[in-house]
Chains A and B, each alone.
Chain A
Amino acid sequence: MAKEVKKELQKLGDKLLQDIEKKENPSIEIPIRALSNVVFDKKLGQLTLGDKTAKRYYFNVAHAKKFMQTAMVASFSKQLIDQNIHASIRDMFYNLKRTLPDSNENTFDEQSESDPIIVDLEVAIDVLREQLHLTTDRKGIVAGNVIIQDRGDNIDWSKLGSGGWSIPSTVDEITFKKVDAEFVLVVEKNAGFERLHEDKFWQKHKCILVGTGGQPSRGTRLLIQRLNQEHKLPVYVFCDADAYGAYIYSVIKSGSISLAHVSDRISTPSAKFIGLTISDVYEYDLKKATIKAKDVDIKRAKEMLNYEWFKKNPRWQKELNLMIEKGIKAEIEALSHKGLKFMSETYLPDKLKKKDFLD
């Protein structure tokens, strides 16, 4: 795999050098990453990037700097691959940040400039950031009856005490030694993960517990996908009853708009939504634990009503409409209103038993 990426980077360099030699305006073709160029592939159940592209030119006042930055990131990545080392995207920012000769202009001023360039490069040569040997901060935790091998070390996810295993940004290269579980439960909140971990939920219910800590990182999404595909484990996603929770679920399932180009490589189309829903709020008498929805929540919910991948299931339409109509939202912690162990001992087992999932 690494060899191919290197070849792609080389091809990009050759193309640009040819442009220069032919005395043409050197350009990099980059697929557009915006909702306007994101399509929902019904067959795959995934968001994919359309075929609209934009060219980034060297001789264009508005493009020139980004052109340079893209070339710099590409060459940085090539060096990482050549030396078989990894760098965090923050490392990369500091490594590439410098002042251009005879000026007070920097190659990069903020990491917020270099981060999107990485994604540009990913889509331009159709590779993953992980393959470019660029890593992000660890985000996401996992626990369960699983033993993996990571850089030669065996790690038992069941023996990590209170913490669980921190999911690295690159999980391509870990191998599963033993997987003893029947499903994967993904929890949006770290607090929810802690609650279920402490209650030994994963032991009692023979599952793998994943905490995403908000929007799941790419590493977490890939890990979920691998567990689903390689070990045929169903995936259930447990989020807040609001538009953001529903979107987190859809990102795991279908991919995100901003990273539509990697959907097929990190999403899990068979993932299902276990809760929390507004219907649950009434079902389990949690009305008193709800929060008034803010304007942005309502706005987001309305936007999502129109997302194609939420349109196909009338139950989703119902839930989103309920959010808008009732003007309320509920966090998963709201379940503690019924007692601290209500979540692990009543709600989730009940849902699992009833197979009350949203697809």
Chain B
Amino acid sequence: MSEHKKAEDFAKEQKEISVSEFFEKNKHLLGFDNPTKSLLMAVKEAVDNSLDAAEEAGILPDITVKIKQVDENTYIVSVADNGPGIVRENVPRVFGKLLYGSKFHRLLQGRGQQGIGISSVTLYAQLTTGVPTKVWSKVESKKKTYYCELHLNTAKNEPDVIKEEEIDKEVVGEHGVKVEMEIHGRYRKTVEDYLKQTSISNPFAKIAYTSPDGTKTVFPRSLNDLPKPPKRMKPHPHGMEFGILQRLLQNTSSRTLLSFLTNEFSSVGSQSGKEICKLAKIPEDTKPQELDRIAIEKLIKGMQTAKIQRPPTDCLSPIGSAELEKSLKKEYPNAEFVTSITRDPEVYRGFPFLIEVGIVYGLGDEVQAKRKKENDDDKKEDVIELIRFANRVPLLYQQSACALTEAVKDVDWRRYNLSQSGSNLPSGPMKLVIHICSVWVPFMSESKEAVAAYPEIIKEAKLAIQDAGRKLSSYLSGKRRAGEQKRRMQMFDRYAGEVSDALAILTGKNDKEIEKKLRALVESRVHIKEEFVDESVEMSDAKKGIKSEKKP
């Protein structure tokens, strides 16, 4: 008898793996790689969902986050919002089925995109504490609040509702959702950082937070208007890939290739449609469903070589330069200098995206003194704090793997008056905020922590950083100038007393009067000097060639 197993033996062991089972074994792919991060993920997924829901419904978000410690490594995370609520039938699937959601199949800028987020927390809770996730949902049209407790059936990737009922008790007000999850984790300040950063990128949201030790923090809104809702976008030909195109071709109701192109894609009119067909060498009136693999390949090539307008950009919803600045000023009231810029949209792989950058410089005397004290041993300045956002969601992990970080390091900060050793992050009392928004942000993994390094994204991010850097630089050189000016004036003022006394003795006139006149003269000369200095600095800037670095 031969020892080796036969294919039939294997067949007994081969069976389908459900997505849920896959993620059960690969929790880290969803971001649950350590206890601290797991707790944060629970908060983050719930808050992101709440923000998306309220914003899409045109409601100014009002979110309450509470974390309660149950025992050494167990916490209850509860997040409540004032969004539109979720209709009863959908609640179990939203919270208890992976890859269920409204966001995957559309091209629309939003916080979540795969429909994994919150249900993965349900799964994680079930894996660590076994306590079912509790959900309260109230929609405006119903009188009662729907309540359920659920697990996730990993084998079937379906929700397992353990208990459900309609209750009279008001849990979330007129409308909204509250979710409560009991999970293993470890509490760290990162939760607060995340909420603070979320408040920066969502200035129209109010977030109330209660930490495990009972401390209450409110991150107020600095803006009372919701951003203009982003529009959905049809795919752009430049971003097409085989699989997607094949599916679109199969499902279209258009009868010819040309009408398929003009109907299903953005930025394609009859002219560019004809050009694509011509370049692909496929007749315009071919039935979409009849294209074979080779024809589809040719069509993709045609799409990529044809001259097609950029995708529409009204599908993007940036924070906005003024809004970001206002928000940063609210969050860092002691900052010395705050600036921000919003770039025009650009395109990668047919997806429009847009970069925003904010700079907070000088973090107030207190913080600086503290930092200085901590750094007394090695006199080196700390590197700046980088705050990354993607579609308004703070990215808290994998900073060094992120394309946005790469862009920051690529910039020569020395020309903006910051110190920088090699191509590291620059040093100084500064926070740099960088936000990418897109209908599809290319993340490195499902836990959505690092943006993939598309050259178009890095290039655009660098330009944005340089725009903001120039503003910082002119502030810093102005500050230095003002400092010199101030020192100069202080010197003249310091000598005024002695000079006045001496002149009083020499002339026999009243010393107080002389001093008054002399100090007035010192005062009046401040402005003369400033104008003069301004001129010379502009000249030297031009010499350094900073001006040549304008955006293309």
Contacts and interface: CB of A to CB of B under 8 A. Distances in A.
B524 A23 contact: yes
Interface in A58-108: 58-59, 61, 64-65, 67-68, 71-72, 74-75, 78-79, 100-103, 105, 107
A9 B502 CA distance: 11
Nearest to A12: B506
Interface in A1-48: 9-10, 12-14, 16-17, 20-21, 23
Given A10-B506, A12-B506, A67-B499, A21 B494 contact: no
Interface string B483-510: 0000010011011011101111111110
Contacts, number: 72
A72 B492 CA distance: 15
Nearest to A69: B498
Interface string B337-361: 0000000000000000000000000
Interface stretch (B221-229, B269-277, B514-522): B514-522
B494 A105 contact: yes
A283 B495 CA distance: 62
B506 A101 contact: no
Interface in A88-147: 100-103, 105, 107
B506 A9 contact: yes
A289 B494 CA distance: 59
Contacts of B508: 10
Contact of B495 (A10, A21, A67): A67
Nearest to B508: A10
Nearest to B497: A101
A240 B505 CA distance: 47
Given A20-B521, A21-B517, A61-B488, A100 B506 contact: no
B498 A59 contact: no
Contacts of A102: 494
A205 to B, nearest CB: 50
Contact of A59 (B502, B505, B514, B525): B525
Contact of B506 (A58, A74, A103): A74
- Best-buried of A9, A17, A79 by chain B (most CB within 10 Å): A17
A21 B518 CA distance: 8
A81 to B, nearest CB: 11
B494 A100 contact: yes
B549 to A, nearest CB: 33
Contact of B492 (A12, A13, A17, A64): A64
A13 B508 CA distance: 9
B219 to A, nearest CB: 41
A20 B506 contact: no
Residue of B501, B502, B509 contacting most chain A CB atoms (<10 Å): B502
Contacts of A61: 488, 491
A296 B324 CA distance: 71
Nearest to B494: A100
A172 to B, nearest CB: 23
B494 A58 contact: no
Contact of B505 (A20, A75, A101, A105): A75
Contacts of A21: 517
B518 A72 contact: no
Contact of B499 (A10, A23, A68, A105): A68
A107 B494 CA distance: 10
Contact residues of A: prevailing secondary structure: helix
Nearest to B529: A59
Given A10-B507, A75-B501, A78-B506, A20 B517 contact: yes
A71 B495 CA distance: 11
Contacts of B495: 58, 64-65, 67-68, 100
B418 to A, nearest CB: 28
B498 A107 contact: yes
Contacts of A64: 491-492, 495
Contact of A20 (B492, B498, B502, B514): B514
Contacts of A71: 498-499, 502-503, 506
A217 to B, nearest CB: 28
Contacts of B497: 100-101
A103 B494 contact: yes
B498 A68 contact: yes
A229 B182 CA distance: 112
A124 to B, nearest CB: 13
A72 B491 CA distance: 16
A65 B498 CA distance: 10
A13 B507 contact: yes
Contacts of B521: 20, 23
B499 A58 contact: yes
A9 B506 CA distance: 6
Contacts of A65: 491, 495
Given A23-B521, A23-B524, A14 B492 contact: no
A188 to B, nearest CB: 40
B498 A72 contact: yes
Contacts of B507: 10, 13-14, 17
A145 B491 CA distance: 57
A47 B507 CA distance: 34
B499 A13 contact: no
A59 B492 contact: yes
A148 to B, nearest CB: 34
Contacts of B503: 13, 16-17, 20, 71, 75
Contacts of A107: 498
Contacts of B524: 23
Interface string B44-83: 0000000000000000000000000000000000000000
Q: Which of B492, B504, B508 has the most CB of A within 10 A?
A: B492
B512 to A, nearest CB: 14
A58 B502 contact: no
Given A20-B521, A71-B499, A78 B505 contact: yes
A114 to B, nearest CB: 13
Nearest to A16: B503
A23 B508 CA distance: 20
B521 to A, nearest CB: 6
A12 B521 CA distance: 19
Interface in A311-346: none
B517 A75 contact: no
A68 B495 CA distance: 6
A9 B525 CA distance: 27
A82 B518 CA distance: 25
Contacts of A74: 502, 506
Interface in B452-508: 488, 491-492, 494-495, 497-499, 501-508
Contacts of A20: 503, 514, 517-518, 521
A121 to B, nearest CB: 11
B499 A100 contact: no
Contact of B514 (A17, A72, A105): A17
Contact of A17 (B491, B494, B509, B525): B509
Given A61-B488, A68-B495, 8 more contacts: A10-B508, A13-B505, A17-B509, A20-B518, A58-B492, A68-B502, A78-B506, A79-B505
Report the 10 A-B pairs with minimum CB-CB distance, sorted nearest first. A13-B506, A75-B502, A71-B502, A75-B505, A13-B507, A68-B495, A100-B494, A71-B499, A72-B502, A68-B498
20 contacts: A10-B506, A13-B502, A16-B503, A17-B509, A17-B514, A20-B503, A20-B517, A20-B518, A20-B521, A21-B517, A58-B492, A61-B488, A61-B491, A65-B491, A71-B503, A71-B506, A75-B501, A75-B504, A75-B506, A102-B494
